[in-house]
Chains A and B, each alone.
Chain A
Amino acid sequence: MAATYKIAVVGNWESVMGFRALGLETCPASTPEQARNEIRRLAHEDCAVIYLTETLAKALPDVLDKYKDELRPAIILIPGREGSLGIGKENIQRAIERAVGADIL
């Protein structure tokens, strides 16, 4: 399988503008609703990795859950300019709890 995919970054303009210089697809979204639509569109297109800022992710737990068990896209949380909210770390914790049944680390 050698299909090529895109990498996208969804977040507010200040947080995502830098990624544009790297050639990633940037989708500025200031409200959770905009982000939800962007993610839906990106998932429908050939987008394999979506980086989403934690600030927006906080308002969209249903979207994260929906794509959690899908092979594509992988939604990865990154801290936005406002700083890390610890949601990314929390998600790892949740994955552990899901697998093990208890928090062991």
Chain B
Amino acid sequence: MPNVTVNPTRMELTRLKGKLRTAQRGHKLLKDKRDELMKQFLDTVREVRSLRAEVEEELMQVHSSFAVASALMSAQALEQALMYPKQSVELTMTFRNVMSVNVPEYDFRTKTQSDSDIYPYGFAATSGELDAAVEALGRVFRKLLKLAQIEKSAQLMAEEIEKTRRRVNALEYVKIPEMQESIKYITMKLDENERANTIRLMKVKDMVLKAAIEERRARDAEAAADRG
């Protein structure tokens, strides 16, 4: 259905044509963006899935070794052992731009450098199972951070893809057809005006001719009368 508010003028037509060209170009670009984002997103998601499965499994093992440790020690002793951490972690966050989506990249720095120096308790009062559990957790931690990074990236990318997809569809199925319709309407209207004008000119020409002929005839008749 043509947009009724559109003015069928030449200026409007030029304006609309320019708009349509921009829209088509934007549509193409957004489509490319969507496709590329989708590709990256699917790669990320595949990675997230496998990493998550791994992490979950390892965490469950860690949990069970903690369960063993807590079975061997009293709750108070356990709490006391873990009360004051020796290790501390500082996280730095930088951003990477993937197809105009800012995705975070985490990097962490630990206070103590070696992995074996993280036990915040003396070994005398705690069971060996706790050491094993803490060590295992330390190993999972790297993966856990990587998981955080890519899972957040996936979430942010999903949002961006959704937005881009909507824009592409809005352009493709609403804006561009609407403009094409308007352009067609204006062109037809202008052509119609053109034809009306031609017809009017022909009519006027006819009338002028007719008047001239009449006049000529009248003059001829007068001349004939004068002679006769």
A residues with a Cβ closer than 8 A to B are: 1-7, 14-15, 17-24, 48-49, 51, 68-69, 71-72, 74, 76, 78-81, 83-84, 88-89, 92, 95-96, 98-101, 105
Let me know if A71 and B158 touch, CB within 8 A.
no
B82 A5 Cβ-Cβ under 8 A:
no
Stretch of B22-30, B106-114, B188-196, B218-226 at the chain-chain interface:
B106-114
Q: What is the number of residues of chain B that contact chain A, defined by CB distance less than 8 Å?
A: 63
Given the contacts A5-B93, A7-B91, A69-B159, A18 and B62 also touching, CB distance less than 8 Å: yes
Kindly state the separation between the CA atoms of A14 and B95 in the bound complex, as whole angstroms.
34
A20-B85, A92-B151, A95-B45 are known; give 12 further A-B pairs, CB within 8 A: A3-B93, A21-B87, A22-B85, A22-B141, A23-B85, A23-B86, A49-B91, A49-B148, A79-B60, A79-B63, A98-B158, A99-B41
Task: Give chain B's interface residues, CB within 8 Å of chain A.
Answer: 38, 41-42, 45-46, 48-49, 52-53, 55-56, 59-60, 62-63, 66-67, 70, 78-79, 82-83, 85-95, 102, 104, 106, 108, 110-111, 118-120, 133-134, 137-138, 141, 144-145, 147-149, 151-152, 154-159, 161-162, 165
